Amino acid sequence: MNFILKMTSLLNITLVLLLSERTIVVASHGQLSSEKTSNIQNKDLVTNLPHQPNVDFRHYAGYVTVNEKNGRALFYWFYEAWTLPDEKPLVLWLNGGPGCSSVGYGATQEIGPFIVGTDGNSLQLNPYSWNIEANMLFLESPVGVGFSYSNTTSDYENLGDDFTAKDTYAFLHNWFKKFPSYRTRAFYIAGESYAGKYVPELAGLIYEKNNDPSLFINLKGILLGNPETSDAEDWKGLVDYAWSHAVVSDETHKTIRESCDFNSNNTWSNDNCSQAVDEVLRQYKEIDIYSLYTSVCNANSAYSENKQVVFNKSTSKMMPRIIGGYDPCLDDYAKGYYNKPEVQKALHVSNGLQLKNWSICNMDIFNGWSQSIDSVLPIYKKLIDAKLRIWVYSGDTDGRVPVLSTRYSLSSLGLSITRSWRPWYNQKQVGGWIQEYEGLTFATFRGAGHAVPIFKPSESLAFFTSFLLGESPPSQR
């Protein structure tokens, strides 16, 4: 799971909520009249968000039903691009967990335009918001995450990777009915951590379904940050990184290397292996595994105890508490803000009287996750063959999905190198290192933890811009 940025008054622009209807170009499938579509959009238009800074872009929030029979509905928050929204691409951002909120993390703490203040009440403007470059769509998925829900109890017992991909796919098509001008827009999917599985799986599903012209989504590429990719390589990278960064002893690392077969279905049946890995996790409880060199949150002792390393060794799932960097207590602030009656009312979640209990991560979903794909590398190969743009990046101070895990995973693809390892720059400083392969680009962010945009906001926005343009970041000062 997955945030404070220094704000600048230069971007404190006058609020202009354009309530007038915009001319809408409707795709041939799922046509709605311009008047009806405008009414649907205006119903979700956010106009009275408490303590919102003044901005001149519109944003929308609300529900999209993905299954009428079971009453499944996913909550979204959509920010138009700061300028020229009709000319800029659409980007879907997903956080992982599984069970964590893309609104609470991505939108609120990382790349959205509004960052919750330390009082859990105010909002501050993020001068490095990604909606400077794109129309940004944040989704709380699957049901049970954040404000998303199902009226059918059994749905919560069947949550898994495939379930999530299918519901997210249904969400997109139904969301396009609300916003039909985006149906043919250049579309990208981005995310981090366990969304390292969500994003390729969704991209693969879109690619397969695009054979039907009536279902076509103009997918151009995917962007993945510190992504869980392949369980075996992820585990190997985690323990090697812990050892190489002096978190565990030589003896513990040697035991793991000699007794653990992470490619085996019976990895944890070996007691020596299991106990040695437990020792790695025990040491990581002393610090923030998501950001090795920053402080932990001590503001609320009960909260801090609940935010220790959470791990399910059998499935390699781990709750991605994405905090660190500027302020390690950001999760608390988000929880305070999104449980305010006036906030939920403004976001069209409730009437302000019957509150929904919003949490940044749902541990019941995490613990009950029923199906997880071992590796998305085969999907990578399919997307590479389809000529989609694939960029992967790693904050190099993350211990949970460390740079070593990602390098091991990508190495196993056996891709040809087209541009060799070199530094990339932002504002005349080394942002990290980058290497380009046939069909894939990999980059590091120097000094960044698990949620890179928290630690390196300016660099992240510059990198995101390069990704959208399909151009390499600067390789000289």
- What would the mean pLDDT of 416-429 be, rounded to a whole number? 96
Nearest to 197 by CA among 365, 72, 371: 371
Q: Select which of 129, 193, 359, 460 is catalytic.
A: 193
DSSP 180-224: GGGTTS-EEEEEEETHHHHHHHHHHHHHHHTTSGGG---EEEEEE
Does residue 25 carry a pLDDT above 80?
A: no
Residues 109-133 pLDDT 10s: 999 999 998 888 889 999 999 999 9
Give me the phi and psi of 37, to 5 degrees please.
-60, -40
**Fold classification of 9-226+375-391+412-428 (topology level):** Rossmann fold (3.40.50)
308 confidence band (pLDDT: 50, 70, 90):
very low
pLDDT single digits (tens) 244-280:
999 999 999 999 999 999 999 889 999 999 999 999 9
Residue burial 21-31, b: 16+ Cβ < 10 Å; e: rest: eeebebbeeee
Question: Residue 434: CB partners within 8 Å, gap ≥ 6?
Answer: 419, 421, 422, 423, 424, 441, 442, 443, 444, 472, 473, 475
pLDDT score of 12: 38
Catalytic choice (148, 450, 460, 466): 450
Gap between the Cα atoms of 11 and 237, Å rounded: 40
Residue 230 annotated in active site: no
Residue 22 has pLDDT above 70, yes or no: no
Cβ distance 196 to 394 under 8 Å?
A: no
Round to whole Å and give the CA distance between 240 and 407: 12
CB 432 within 8 A of CB 446: yes
Q: SS3 for 124?
A: strand
Of 288, 375, 398, 466, catalytic: 398
Give residue-wise pLDDT tens across range 50-83: 999 999 999 999 999 999 999 999 999 999 999 9
- Residues 379-399 pLDDT 10s: 999 999 999 999 999 999 999
Q: Is residue 384 within a helix (H) or strand (E), and if so which, with residue range?
A: helix 377-385
pLDDT at 328: 66
Identify whether 29 is a catalytic site residue. Answer: no
Does residue 318 surpass a pLDDT of 70?
no
pLDDT at 297: 80
450 is catalytic: yes
Q: What is the model's pLDDT at position 333?
A: 84
Q: What is the largest CA-CA distance in the chain?
A: 69
pLDDT for 37 equals 61
DSSP 269-299: GSHHHHHHHHHHHHHHTTS-TTSTTSPPP-S
Q: What is the pLDDT of residues 165-194, one digit of tens each?
A: 999 999 999 999 999 999 999 999 999 999
Measured between alpha carbons, how far apart are the two ends of the chain, in Å? 34
The confidence score (pLDDT) of residue 325 equals 40
Determine contact, residues 247/284, Cβ cutoff 8 Å: yes
Q: What is the reported pLDDT for 300?
A: 52
